[in-house]
Structure 1
């Protein structure tokens, strides 16, 4: 390649870089939004909001939030926006623009995590739930789900974690490290009121790293409670319930009771 040709290519590349940079500057947010960015808010997306406002969704230290730029462009409102019917519009925006894509991405991570199948392997509905062996709400959730599991309609995949008590990790690893994890999980469920499965150090040695990996996954997803449960709704969208589902959430998750 001749030197003159190389020089022209470098000039062209430099010009393209300047044009792109100018475009980024032209799309800078108003000063009041930039102030939020300086305080650590990551702006993820924007949308049209009621009252002539522009809505934004973002994250601050892993927490999702919505905020609204007033029509004058000089003020921002951070918090919950509700309509006259009492609908939480902020939460809907966070779900659509932040949580929806995040949970969709998480679904494949759940499939690759270390879980124990509970129910018919051919069940149409697969539900992932983070389960700590010492969690009474996890135990109650399994009791609630039993009619659907026994009917072959639901397969629960328990992602075993150890976070609640000193022996949570060793109990979880005993279940995961068993030659028959499904049977070990059932043994634990049946003896939960008496303290659950007895810790087996050989099994713990085989599976403690898998439990630690599940703990990290739970933390990376920003989940704060067990059970934390993810499922696909009737439209195929990934949804999440943290804590023990109420009857309405259970029906949305699993369908009508068999």
Structure 2
């Protein structure tokens, strides 16, 4: 009985210690958040602060970006944190995890659907028809097989991007019109006017989930890959996501 009492007391003491550490950490991050918010201005939306893998350095989540700060908020670092042993970009990985979404909840009816091979693997892409990196990604996708690509037309670069997006959406074969333009520069010619509310919905959705650039690839596990990723990386990430 005495042994059980001693064990129970140890567990309670350990729990109290952990709670104390958590409370202390909350006080540090809360104070740091208040300091940075005051110094960086009300236009900066600080979504959260936590310890980074580097002692004394705190990760500051701005939604579309991660920056780093000392405990007092006197200095900030803007850039990528890289693990030199593995050469892994910890900032990109962390940002992708923080911005993970529920892939199944995406409104696929508002996307241009292209099926390659058996289509067993799935990705979503937010893409602007006039974005050169989006054209580069489309060329990369030619070498990726057995994937279903849901392209959410996301015309953010210019008024002409909106015109082209609407023409593609109103085409009788949206997938063909999209690929003809992105791969061969064959301008889309819509069969006529149609309801383009889906494009407005895409713009609202992108703003809601922090899509700040094109192309943005979203994997089936909800992680995102910004920019025109290489075929090798995309294959690797597709394998991890399924």
Q: After the TM superposition, which parts of structure 1 deviate over 6 Å for at least 4 consecutive aligned residues?
A: none
Matched, 1:115 2:114: no
Partners of 1:178 and 1:103 in 2: how far apart? 32
Matched, 1:227 2:215: yes
Match of 2:121 among 116, 119, 125: 125
* 1:123-173 alpha-carbon deviations (Å, 9 max, x no partner): 221111112222333233222211324xxx111111112223333212212
Matched, 1:135 2:131: yes
Match of 1:246 among 223, 230, 233: 230
Partners of 1:68 and 1:143 in 2: how far apart? 43
* 1:55-105 alpha-carbon deviations (Å, 9 max, x no partner): 343327x53323342xxxx5654225556648577616xx44x54142224
Which structure has the bigger radius of gyration? 1
TM-score w.r.t. the length of structure 2 is 0.67
Aligned match of 1:171: 164
CA distance 1:110–1:66, shift in 2 (3 Å): farther
Partners of 1:252 and 1:82 in 2: how far apart? 19
Match of 1:102 among 99, 103, 113: 99
C-alpha displacement of 1:178: 3.3
Aligned match of 1:15: none
For the Cα contact (< 8 Å) 1:113–1:159, is it kept in 2? no
Count of residues paired in the alignment: 210
Structure 2 residue ranges without an equivalent (≥5): 1-22
Aligned match of 2:204: 216
CA RMSD of aligned residues (A): 3.5
Aligned match of 1:63: 65
TM-score w.r.t. the length of structure 1 is 0.64
> Partner of 2:193: helix, strand, or coil?
helix
Structure 1 residue ranges without an equivalent (≥5): 1-23
> Partner of 2:99: helix, strand, or coil?
helix
Aligned match of 2:76: 78
CA distance 1:144–1:76, shift in 2 (3 Å): same
